[in-house]
Amino acid sequence: MKTHTHYITINTNKRVDFVRLTPKIQEIVDKSNIKEGIVLVNPMHITASIYINDNEQGLIKDYQEWLEKLAPKDKDYHHHLTGEDNGWSHLWRTVMGREVTVAITKGELDLGPWEEIFYAEFDGQRNKKILVKVLGA
Amino acid sequence: MKTHTHYITINTNKRVDFVRLTPKIQEIVDKSNIKEGIVLVNPMHITASIYINDNEQGLIKDYQEWLEKLAPKDKDYHHHLTGEDNGWSHLWRTVMGREVTVAITKGELDLGPWEEIFYAEFDGQRNKKILVKVLGA
Amino acid sequence: MKTHTHYITINTNKRVDFVRLTPKIQEIVDKSNIKEGIVLVNPMHITASIYINDNEQGLIKDYQEWLEKLAPKDKDYHHHLTGEDNGWSHLWRTVMGREVTVAITKGELDLGPWEEIFYAEFDGQRNKKILVKVLGA
C-alpha cells in the first residue's frame, strides 16, 4: 500500500468564495503514482468545506442565498461571545460538509461527468490549508 | 492491498425516489473477496445522494416534506437560467450528503442494527450511475 | 496493509449531548501502530453523528438552537406512527452528518489547529456504539 500527503495553501480575496479544485487534485494523484485507491480531501479549518457539485455560477449564487436563509450572518450567535463574528461560517460549513472521499480508478479521479471538487470558504482573506491524502496501490 | 470497482446503473420511475442498497453493496463486497477494509459508495451524479438511515417509510416521507421546506421546488433558482429546473435537487442532495464510507469487518458491512444504505434520487427517470469502490485486504 | 477495528460504547446522561472524542481516537490510532493512512469514525446508530468542528460551548449551543429551528422536536413526524418520538433526531443527524474520515500522518491524526472530533447524540440515555476503523501502513 502506498500513501501520499499534500497540503494546499489557499487565500481567497473574498470572505465567502468558491474555488474549483478538480485539476489540482488530479495533479496530486498523478504525482502520487497511485492507480487504484482513494483520495481524501478536507480543509484543515472549521469554517470551510470541501464538497462536490456543479461548476455553474448560478448554482453557486443559489448556495449562498440558501445558506444565508438557513443561518443568517447577522444573528447574535452564542459563539460570538468569544469575540468571533463567524458563527454562521461554522453552520454554513456544517450544511456543505467537511470532506470528500473520491475513488481513483486507472490513475484517474473516478468522477461522474458533472462532478467537480470545490473548496467553499466562509471566513477567508487569510491563509488556509487543505489536506490531500492519497491511499492505494 | 486489493481494490474492487463496480458501477450500478439505476433508473427510478419517479423523479424523487429512495432505494435501499444494502444487500447489493454486500454482494459487491462478497465478490471483491476483501475481508477487512472499507467500501466507498457515491452517486456519479450531482442531484442524488447516498446516505445511511432507517428503512422506514414514515421517515422517508418526513425527509421529503422537510427537504421541501428547506429548499422548495417552485423557487426561481439562479441555476434555472441555464434551462434546468432542478436547482432544488442540488440543494436536497447537499443536505443528504454525497457519499458514505462503510467499514468491512470479517467480510461483512460493519453496520449497526438499523443502519441501511440508501440511494436518494432527486432528479430521476433516466439512467444514473453509482460507484462502489472496495479497498482493503 | 494493516487494519484495526475498535468499538467505543457510550451512554450520555442527557438525551441531546456532545462529547469530544479526539484524544480517544488518537489513542486507538496509537494502538493500531498505523503510521500512514486513514481512520473512519461513525456511530452505529441512526440518531447520532460524528462531526468535526470547534470545541467551544457557545457554538455547541448554537448548533442545538439551529437544529431545533431546522427540525423542531415537537412536530408530528410520520416516523412517530411507529411509536417512536425521535423523528427530529434522525433529521438532526442528517444535518450534522454520519461519519468522518481523518488522515493519519506520521502516526498522528492529521487535523488542523481547531479541528476536534465530536460525537453528537440526539437520542441518548442508553448504550450506543461508535465504530473506529483504522486502515493503512
What does the pLDDT look like over B38-91, one tens digit per residue?
999 999 999 999 999 999 999 999 999 999 999 999 999 999 999 999 999 999
Q: What is the DSSP letter of A90?
A: H
Q: Calculate ∠ Cα B54-B60-B61, nearest 5°.
A: 150
What is the value of ipTM here, to two decimals? 0.97
Question: Helix or strand or coil: residue A114?
Answer: coil
User: For domain C2-136, which architecture applies?
Assistant: Sandwich (2.60)
CB neighbourhood size of A108 (10 A): 12
Every domain of chain B and the residues it spans: 2-136
B/e letters for A38-76, b = 16+ CB within 10 Å, e = fewer, are bbbbbbbbbbbbbbbbbebebbbebbbebbeebbebeee
Q: What is the DSSP letter of A115?
A: -
When CB atoms are compared, the residue of A56, A103, A112 closest to B133 is A103
CA atoms within 13 A on the CB side of C94: 28
Cβ-Cβ contacts under 8 Å between A and B: the total is 88
**Chain B, window 61-100: residues with a beta carbon less than 8 angstroms from a chain C beta carbon:** 61-63, 65-66, 70, 95-97, 100
**By the 8 A CB rule, do A49 and A120 touch?**
yes
Q: What is the pLDDT of residue B105?
A: 98
Tell me the C-alpha distance between A76 and A64, whole Å: 19
Predicted confidence pLDDT, tens digits, chain C (137 residues): 999 999 999 999 999 999 999 999 999 999 999 999 999 999 999 999 999 999 999 999 999 999 999 999 999 999 999 999 999 999 999 999 999 999 999 999 999 999 999 999 999 999 999 999 999 99
- Cβ distance B137 to C3 less than 8 Å, yes or no, reads yes
Beta strands in B2-99 (DSSP E): 2-10, 17-20, 37-43, 48-53
Cα–Cα distances in Å, from B37 out to A29, A112, B102? 21, 24, 9
Judging contacts by C-beta atoms under 8 Å, the chain C residues touching residue A9 are none
